Chain A
Amino acid sequence: MVANRGEIACRIIRSAREMGIETTVIHSQCDDDSLAVRLADNAVEVGPPPASKSYLDIQAIVNAAIDHEIDAIHPGYGFLAENAKFAEAVEDAGKLFVGPDSQTIRLMGDKLAARETAKKAGVPIAEGSQSRLDSLEEMCTVAKEAGYPVLIKASAGGGGRGIRIANNQDELKRLAPQARAEAQATFGDGTLFVEKYIPQARHIEVQILGDGSEVIHCYERECSLQRRRQKVWEEAPALVLTDEIREKICASAVTLAEHVNYRGAGTVEFLYDESTEEFFFLEMNTRIQVEHPVTEMICGLDLIREMILIAQGSPLCLKQDEIRIRGHAIECRINAENPDQDFMPSPGTAESVTFPAGPGVRFDTMLFPGCNIPPYYDSMIGKLVVWDGSREAALSRLRRALSELEIEGIHTTKSLHQALVENGDVIALNIHTGFLEQWLSRRQSFHNR
């Protein structure tokens, strides 16, 4: 059973069907004619359109799994994918959760605990807190030792919420109470910690697979092009890394996953400081990620299939030396947003759609002509992934594929990607996590549609 919607539900159903597994997808009332529902063998409605009443309703989903005699649940990404209570409820119902066990999810979901675990495993972490910081005085002491600027982070954090940058002690004293209040309101936990801020860092993450005893990596991705801490464009491999650093960062990810006897697919995220060639553990995501296709393209793998095999109890069928990088892949997230209106969401009906195709092109989407894009969920409607023998060739292929993509009826971020693929700094890989927002603030229009 797929406990998700949109393109990732379609993606999971496709792999499961190839494996001869009967598929059931959950859906809300407004998704009753979605592509995932059309692709799955069975569909079960779990509630009204708002996610809190359907895709986030643990009891409704577990009940549906019991009623329909489901064997296993794949949570996809987002929604309940990293919710330890959901994993626990699935385990308690006697079903397989396609992912790590609830304790691992809980451990890695607590950012401070994850940081401590990384430190114990010998994985580099940015200077900062050893433990939770309850008083402002403690925070000031830790920040002074780490050196300003520092990041104030929420231990229960996610999606960039509760994070503040403090350039000096005055800012720390002013921003910490705000961050605590936001963390308390958003996550019900105001625990904060402080970490040295690395300006102009690059976001590098390592894909790993574990079977509970053995862990392998499937190399890294670079996801430095972000807006509001949401990734926009991802690539694999990260050509900014030397082979030596690549080996080190991938080995670090494997060490951390081995330390927690990781089972399933996961991603260990790092910040990379190009000027010092240092990398620092950021967090671990205990689920499949949106940008997993770029890894699949360069390694020739199906990560969803591997996840399902692991959940079935199979030991890893791949050996580390069988994973090799071939060529270069780029993914562009196509969102239903208007780049000319500060990325205002644009739900509605995709009246007509023309998908790019041809060699080395993959478009993971839930779109079909006339399909409805509801206002209730994430704005991502498709992922354009291209592969070619080199990055330069992949960029050319991306230009060609973007020109073939046509979506009528709603605004999309296609024009943003068309501008990025022509941008000199993007072409030269001269980017960092703040690059896109700085570039957007200087740019007036994308002449969208």
Chain B
Amino acid sequence: MRLLGFSAVLLLSFAVSPSLHAQVGGEMTPPLSLRNASYSIDVRLDPATRTITASEVITWRNITSRSVDDLRFHLYWNAWRDDRSSWQRERALVRTPPRDMQPGDRASLDISSLRVTGSGGPVDLTTRLRFIAPDDNNADDRTVLQAPLPQAAGPGTTLTIEVAWTAHVPRPVARTGAVGDFFFIAQWFPKLGVLEDGGWNCHQFHASTEFFSDYGVYDVRMTVPKGWPVGATGVARERRANTDGTETLRYYQEDVHDFAWTTSPDALERTARFEYPSLPSVELRLLLRPEHASQAERHFEGARTALRLYGEWFGAYPYGHLTIVDPAYQSGAGGMEYPTLITAGTRWLTPAGTADPEDVVIHETGHQFFYGIVGSNEFENAWMDEGINTFAEARVMDARQATYYSQRYFGGFIPFVFRDIRLDREHMWNRLAGYRRAATTDRQSTPSYRYYPATGGLITYNKTALWLNTMERWLGWPTVQRTLSTFFVRWQFKHPTPEDFFHIANDVAGRDLSWYFDQVYRGSSTFDYGIQELRSAADGGGRFRTEVVVRRYGDATFPIDVRTTFDDGEQVTEHWDGRERWQLYVYERTAKARTAEADPARVLLLDVNETNNSRTLRPQGEAAATKWSLKWMVWLQDCLLSWSVFV
């Protein structure tokens, strides 16, 4: 796509600014997306048998330039049908499957009929359906369903697809399922993949990637036991009592690409409103567990903070409403995003100063922007939503009140806050420690679903946050903010690729950053610069000869500053392009050198070893080691005393 100049982008952003759109009851006027995949769904939940019976009518339009002779559907829940799915096989690489699985714990999704209506009359394709495994040819995987069309659907063709199915709600797995009376129903309906000019983009369900679908209108009628509060994507439009002790709630939302819902008789409902002068107001609805009743305001505060800062930095949240679900204990549904609905996640004991629930609410609210509004392909480029959002989340957390390191004890129930350790953005919120351990495990440009499952998240979340924050410290926040806001505005309600992002970054920065993206995105090399030598000795003439050797220990390169500080307070800063393996700087001064630092401003946050970045001729290493070994010794003494109970 041809890049627009920045001023043109700004004009465009005003022209399509969501804040200028009217939204009432889930309707968005004028439309924000192409709405080429719309779903009208009727679903009935039987909590006793944990079964859902449903039917849907999909109105799909071919918006590509090619004809297509089949349809492809995601049937996510079949990933948990048995242990042979690709999802289960990948998950088994990371963790041992639960030993206590019972037959009713599994999920399943069985299509009972599928009819397609195109230019001719309806055609029943039920008997022609077959499962395919485009990613790994796993014949046992049943998460992608292929329906051959009776005749090819050319560009612009509209098809109406009627699907009926039954599904079994699993014991919680991957943010979906039921525990007790809490039901969280996500990834639950047969959903079309995305048809691109290159063909269907409809990946199997993998252990560490989740979404990609077209925008449309969702009109969903959910039948649940009477009196059970429901939270769902969109806005409730109708509530109808049935004669069988159930009631049907209709939720409606335009310009979204997914739909999730939840119900539980225990949920408490709280409401609040986000208002800010330059942003559209948002009605906040919180479905809260009774044991967390006192934490309602913490949830709202997180959502308000994210809506305000993301809104100011990137663009406004257009939908006017947001539902926050506080999931049940052991539901595994916490920390997840769906259009206009997020799940938070808190604990019964959550003292002030700990990160959650605010952090998780901020992160998931942030996904309304990067995932919900900018519809990148999470199967292939998970960093474009998770990574960018982690970067922004870290920035938001840094702007909030102090948060401290905490640890949970006694089976993970009892928290303790270490007030000496304030969590900072550069290391903690960007999750540097996790990245350090996984830095070379995968190139980020590898399709995300092919990442090694145990470390994929670290490449997706942590590395992106670090390289974006590095860009911020290198090019300045205005450049990164404009890059992200331009990306947000230009690609809202569309499907951007990584190249689209890089083009915008180059354009906004006014320079070619490809060498940087080649390393952080297309490569898996690590950055590690350090001071190898610092010598400063009298030369006999009343002056001191100082030698500083800075070395590139990692394979990746980045220009860095090298600062030498002398005893008289003088500082000399050199700029090194960082390409050679080492560089020598020699100074003749009247004062002796005190310190030498590579990258003293800590621009390169991807540097995996910060300790070697500096040297001083007045080292405190011994003193620090004494202090910390004494603290550790007390821990050990206490540890020994706990064992002495055996004697």
A in complex with B:
no
Name B residues whose Cβ lies closer than 8 Å to a Cβ of A: none
